A and B are shown apart, each in its own frame.
Chain A
């Protein structure tokens, strides 16, 4: 007789002590994905962390990292109290003494006050993989130092900037494939880091629908494993592959001409005046509007003229005698060139010409033969009504694999060009913007230049230059920022160059600093290039015995490698112990059709003398009397972080949290501060979502009602159409300066001029990555890159006792056939050598890897003595970093950053190496570091975690006796 679940349940013991359990919602922070979680606790211990089914980001699911949060909370590497370096001990030795928070904050306030009173730029404040850049940026502005940035310069600024200078949005936080409608998805490069669960959820949708998934990656792991087609590209050559597909589409005229005419600057007229100071600029009418050639009137007319029938292609002479061509003509001239023919591109990227041709034509088929239409009336920028949204269901995602090359900005622009030619930008089935994006091109914020003692900056430290006038350089053309962002070395360094700060500060180039504050950034280890030397730099002293970086402050929750190099340590809380906001003003978590934000709330009371970094910042801001943090009586304006979040307004009605504002507490997005706001978020499972009406969902770059809505919220500052910039006049303005054809700043050296002229092409180009231009290919035959392990990456969790059971050291993976050719056995040890350094690593053979490429998992190798690991831990004994091999300068140009020449994005993936068998009998990686003298914990014990008592389900005696 079958039994119902209820019958069965009635016979079972009561396993869970629900009466003692509490559940609370908050936001995960095991990586940067920011999924909603429901945490069940029992007597101040965590029973279970589960994805929040209602949450817009993860819809109930959770990845390998998120499910291991318990062991992050229980890590023995948690810092326990503020500390300062023991007097008389050497920096880096890891000898600290505990101090009180009062003492720690007094030391820091005194130091910072002196800097702020005299020369604010002597404070460099750089933050790592945090998610509170709106607050840290505000803090730096109020302090008055331009030397602030987060980690974007070594993460994915190429992706972000290429999008913001082309379509007004981009990938990940800026936009997503239309997972619900797309029929063809192309994934460019390693993407297992961003986003985590949304991409996984999306891939399942594709698979169910029978949409094709093509993965472009030298390595077949992770998402690539389930791709319908894997394209084993050579690292750093995605640009030529994209532009070769552009070649095919143009050759066959398989492009969305209506989209190009209406939504891009393809029909705009570009001045052709070689040698002149306006060559390559957009031709403008008397009112400053870009112009078109109207086929009906056979005249030049304003691009705002809705009666025009613009010529997409053509060469004309204007009434004032200026020779002009449409941007589309320049596009055709560029990409129909033989250098982009599949046969030529194949030689560079290693993909068969026939495959390049086929993939382009497959996308054209889906875009133009499987067109979808969503019947929703909408109004375009000019007030014209349309009956439906037309969708070209081809979508793409690109992340670090494309970003982390020194040609990544132009490659990403090439991908956006491909999207625009296919008409797949913000349309059904295509690539969708996520609010508050799209923005106008470029967003109207300029980076701050001027500084004065005790004076806030008059604009944020980071912004979006549109011409050389916006560079942050002095009258002689020298960098003003310590990281040389917005200098001629990296003019569009919109996220700064955190990876250059230590080297520049130590070399006093452009000037020495006094204090370096690092938050949640492991700059002494896996977040720096040239790691071994970087650790030496952090300890470097002047002749007078003073440290070259006089004072280093580190805030982190865990005993990272960087903590050991600090003079003052301010211990942070874990993500389950604090309040946080995930704000639309910061790095938003919106979905394509929903504006979203979220909070964290404390689930567990800290058992240590630690404080959330955001509390510390608010406290310091009050102590230092920053104007926005001080009231009329000269007292701190905010009681703490919670009070700040509720009451701070960026502009009237707009604060960090968008939900439940105003007196009646139902004003969303815009409204007066609401003292009950945190409570409303907690009641609503710690997130807020505002779903768009159907007519706001697509073509938002040209959607009048959407743009008016966005303007009302401060997301855009005008309702003009956001015209997609396939041709970038902004890039061309830098070339004119390099040619001496401008009134503004001009590069000072021939090398700078050459660099700008070569790389600031107004249309996307492919060029060989910079490091590879300067080394001998024959000497260093292998590309060396990292991939992101989905169960570890971004969770800084080598101390996580569950995750490290899955992976506790990394291997160097290489093609089986190449390895055997070189006499390298599976699990054999090798020397890996670059122009910069040498390491020893253990090899694993693999077939699913491009033959000229070797790779390893990122973020596994650790330094001995850190992260609460014992000295015999494989993370330090067998694990290794490729970082040692990567120089922060170009091989032949010391002092010139090993980065994208446009954005300053760290070129992690440009590395080339040679590999030789290692015959020494030593099964350890090299280099090994002695590490700290004072490890936090070096437990070699077993661990047995249990929340509550287990209730064993006993087998009945009857069952034991009478059944087999």
Chain B
């Protein structure tokens, strides 16, 4: 299996639902807790396994566009974050392709975060251990959850359905079909990391025709108005 996500940039409104769903699940999940640094003071921060960044993009002669861009681990096929790990804490699972950090083996050297061009790994400074997206490995296989709940927390919660989860090895899975129909893209393909997660680009805006207008305005206006016979 090659498990991963599609992220739809056409519908993401930047509500941060996926980010806080991720936070609450994983704080008490397999890699938890996630420390809240300066929880009620200056510079509050902490490890986020999924962040939504907002950018403005502007092509010449066009009005600017605001883009909400969610980013979590892309579970790359060529995961350099794994290669560089000196303790073997970082690894990519053979059975499903999920990239994980063994919390007991990690020494918090931060090399993997440097190796990740997507900024998807964040060190828990208080614990000295690397945190990253687990694709909710502690949800998706949990046979005691309802089948429809066996999905990453971010996917379950997304109000605009921008995030879908599935097996990219299965050409009939929702994520494979979406990637094909919406021409899903790799982020920074030139780097050769072969990310599993795909981003679905914004759809072209629908073109709505304008209603034809009358060439002669003889019946327009109040003077030329002729009432139709319409039953009350």
Question: Could you tell me which A residues sit within 8 Å of B by CB distance?
Answer: 2-3, 5-6, 8-9, 12, 15-16, 18, 47-51, 53, 58, 60-70, 76, 184, 196-197, 200-201, 203-204, 207, 210-212, 220-226, 228-230, 232, 250-254, 257-258, 261-262, 267, 292, 295-296, 303, 305-314, 329, 332-333, 336, 358, 361-362, 364-366, 368-369, 790-791, 799, 801-806, 808, 846-848, 868-870, 872-874, 877, 937-948, 950-955, 959-960, 963-964
- Determine the distance from Cα of A804 to Cα of B21 in the docked complex, in whole angstroms: 15
Say whether B217 contacts A955, CB under 8 Å. no
Say whether A223 contacts B13, CB under 8 Å. yes
Say whether A309 contacts B229, CB under 8 Å. yes
The residue in chain A whose Cβ has the minimal distance to the Cβ of B143 is A9
Residues of B within 8 A of A58 (CB): 159
Residues of B within 8 A of A267 (CB): 232
19 example contacts (A-B, Cβ-Cβ < 8 A) are as follows: A16-B144, A49-B24, A62-B21, A66-B17, A67-B24, A204-B11, A220-B65, A251-B220, A252-B213, A364-B210, A791-B15, A791-B16, A801-B36, A805-B45, A869-B41, A870-B41, A939-B41, A944-B33, A953-B134
Say whether A312 contacts B144, CB under 8 Å. no
Sample of 18 further A-B pairs with CB below 8 A, known A48-B24, A204-B162: A12-B141, A51-B157, A64-B15, A65-B20, A204-B159, A220-B66, A221-B54, A225-B13, A252-B213, A296-B229, A306-B231, A362-B208, A365-B209, A805-B48, A872-B42, A944-B126, A952-B102, A955-B102
Size of the chain B interface, CB-CB below 8 angstroms? 101
Say whether A224 contacts B66, CB under 8 Å. yes
Say whether A946 contacts B126, CB under 8 Å. no
Residues of A within 8 A of B28 (CB): 47-48, 945-948, 950
- Determine the distance from Cα of A361 to Cα of B28 in the docked complex, in whole angstroms: 54
4 residue pairs, one from A and one from B, having the closest CB atoms: A64-B16, A361-B210, A200-B159, A15-B138
Does B27 touch A at the CB level, under 8 Å?
yes
Residues of A within 8 A of B222 (CB): 313, 329, 332-333, 336
Interface string of B27-41 (1 = CB under 8 A from A): 111111111111111
Partner of A805, one of B33, B44, B150, B211: B44
Residues of A within 8 A of B38 (CB): 940, 942
Say whether B230 contacts A310, CB under 8 Å. yes
Contact A801-B33, Cβ < 8 Å, known A16-B144, A226-B13: no
Residues of A within 8 A of B209 (CB): 362, 365, 369
Q: Would you give the shortest CB distance from A260 to chain B, in whole angstroms? A: 9
- Determine the distance from Cα of A50 to Cα of B156 in the docked complex, in whole angstroms: 8
- Determine the distance from Cα of A277 to Cα of B144 in the docked complex, in whole angstroms: 75
Q: Would you give the shortest CB distance from A757 to chain B, in whole angstroms? A: 25
Q: Would you give the shortest CB distance from A381 to chain B, in whole angstroms? A: 11
- Determine the distance from Cα of A210 to Cα of B205 in the docked complex, in whole angstroms: 8
Q: Which listed segment binds A: B56-64, B113-121, B184-192?
A: B56-64
Say whether B141 contacts A203, CB under 8 Å. no
Within B112-140, the residues touching A (CB, 8 Å) are: 126, 134, 137-138, 140
Q: Would you give the shortest CB distance from B43 to chain A, in whole angstroms? A: 8
- Determine the distance from Cα of A222 to Cα of B48 in the docked complex, in whole angstroms: 21
Residues of A within 8 A of B153 (CB): 48
Say whether B228 contacts A939, CB under 8 Å. no
Say whether A869 contacts B105, CB under 8 Å. no
Residues of B within 8 A of A250 (CB): 220
Partner of A63, one of B17, B23, B39, B143: B17
Interface string of B83-104 (1 = CB under 8 A from A): 1000011010011100010111
Residues of A within 8 A of B29 (CB): 15, 950
Does B7 touch A at the CB level, under 8 Å?
no
Partner of A332, one of B1, B100, B221, B228: B221
Contact A303-B232, Cβ < 8 Å, known A220-B66, A874-B42: yes
Say whether A954 contacts B102, CB under 8 Å. yes
Residues of B within 8 A of A3 (CB): 1, 95
Partner of B15, one of A63, A333, A947: A63
- Determine the distance from Cα of A184 to Cα of B160 in the docked complex, in whole angstroms: 18
Contact A873-B82, Cβ < 8 Å, known A60-B156, A948-B28, A960-B91: no
Residues of B within 8 A of A212 (CB): 205-206, 208
Contact A15-B82, Cβ < 8 Å, known A801-B39, A943-B39: no
Say whether B36 contacts A226, CB under 8 Å. no
Say whether B11 contacts A207, CB under 8 Å. yes
Say whether B231 contacts A802, CB under 8 Å. no
Say whether B12 contacts A226, CB under 8 Å. yes
Contact A211-B221, Cβ < 8 Å, known A364-B211, A952-B30: no
Say whether B65 contacts A937, CB under 8 Å. no
Interface string of B169-193 (1 = CB under 8 A from A): 1000000000000000000000000
Specify which of B20, B34, B94, B102 lies most central, judged by the most chain A CB atoms within 10 Å of its CB: B20
Say whether A51 contacts B156, CB under 8 Å. yes
Residues of A within 8 A of B16 (CB): 63-64, 790-791, 806
- Determine the distance from Cα of A954 to Cα of B82 in the docked complex, in whole angstroms: 15
- Determine the distance from Cα of A241 to Cα of B126 in the docked complex, in whole angstroms: 55
Say whether A225 contacts B68, CB under 8 Å. yes
- Determine the distance from Cα of A127 to Cα of B48 in the docked complex, in whole angstroms: 37
Partner of A211, one of B21, B48, B157, B206: B206
Contact A203-B211, Cβ < 8 Å, known A313-B225, A953-B102: no
Contact A952-B104, Cβ < 8 Å, known A9-B142, A332-B222, A333-B222: yes
Say whether A228 contacts B205, CB under 8 Å. yes
Say whether A12 contacts B137, CB under 8 Å. yes
Say whether A309 contacts B96, CB under 8 Å. no
Say whether A848 contacts B64, CB under 8 Å. yes
Say whether A942 contacts B36, CB under 8 Å. yes
Say whether A203 contacts B11, CB under 8 Å. yes
Contact A944-B36, Cβ < 8 Å, known A211-B206, A332-B221, A362-B208: yes
The residue in chain B whose Cβ has the minimal distance to the Cβ of A259 is B230
Residues of A within 8 A of B94 (CB): 959, 963
Q: Would you give the shortest CB distance from B143 to chain A, in whole angstroms? A: 6
Say whether B138 contacts A951, CB under 8 Å. yes
Contact A197-B159, Cβ < 8 Å, known A9-B143, A868-B40, A953-B102: yes
Q: Would you give the shortest CB distance from B77 to chain A, in whole angstroms? A: 13
Residues of A within 8 A of B45 (CB): 805
Residues of A within 8 A of B96 (CB): 8
Does B19 touch A at the CB level, under 8 Å?
yes
Q: Would you give the shortest CB distance from B159 to chain A, in whole angstroms? A: 4
Say whether A870 contacts B211, CB under 8 Å. no
- Determine the distance from Cα of A937 to Cα of B30 in the docked complex, in whole angstroms: 31
Q: Would you give the shortest CB distance from B127 to chain A, in whole angstroms? A: 8
Say whether A64 contacts B17, CB under 8 Å. yes
Say whether A312 contacts B228, CB under 8 Å. yes
Say whether B156 contacts A64, CB under 8 Å. no
Say whether B156 contacts A232, CB under 8 Å. no
Say whether A262 contacts B230, CB under 8 Å. yes
Contact A952-B103, Cβ < 8 Å, known A251-B220, A847-B64, A945-B36: yes
Q: Would you give the shortest CB distance from B52 to chain A, in whole angstroms? A: 8
The residue in chain B whose Cβ has the minimal distance to the Cβ of A2 is B1
Residues of B within 8 A of A873 (CB): 40-42
Q: Would you give the shortest CB distance from B97 to chain A, in whole angstroms? A: 11
Interface string of B149-172 (1 = CB under 8 A from A): 110010011111110000001000
- Determine the distance from Cα of A944 to Cα of B37 in the docked complex, in whole angstroms: 9
Say whether B221 contacts A251, CB under 8 Å. yes
Contact A790-B14, Cβ < 8 Å, known A292-B232, A805-B46, A950-B33: yes
Q: Would you give the shortest CB distance from B61 to chain A, in whole angstroms? A: 13
Q: Would you give the shortest CB distance from B206 to chain A, in whole angstroms? A: 5
Partner of A309, one of B20, B104, B219, B230: B230
The residue in chain B whose Cβ has the minimal distance to the Cβ of A358 is B210
Residues of A within 8 A of B19 (CB): 64, 806
The residue in chain A whose Cβ has the minimal distance to the Cβ of B126 is A942
- Determine the distance from Cα of A307 to Cα of B231 in the docked complex, in whole angstroms: 7
Residues of B within 8 A of A197 (CB): 159
Q: Would you give the shortest CB distance from A241 to chain B, in whole angstroms? A: 17
Say whether A951 contacts B30, CB under 8 Å. yes
- Determine the distance from Cα of A869 to Cα of B225 in the docked complex, in whole angstroms: 67
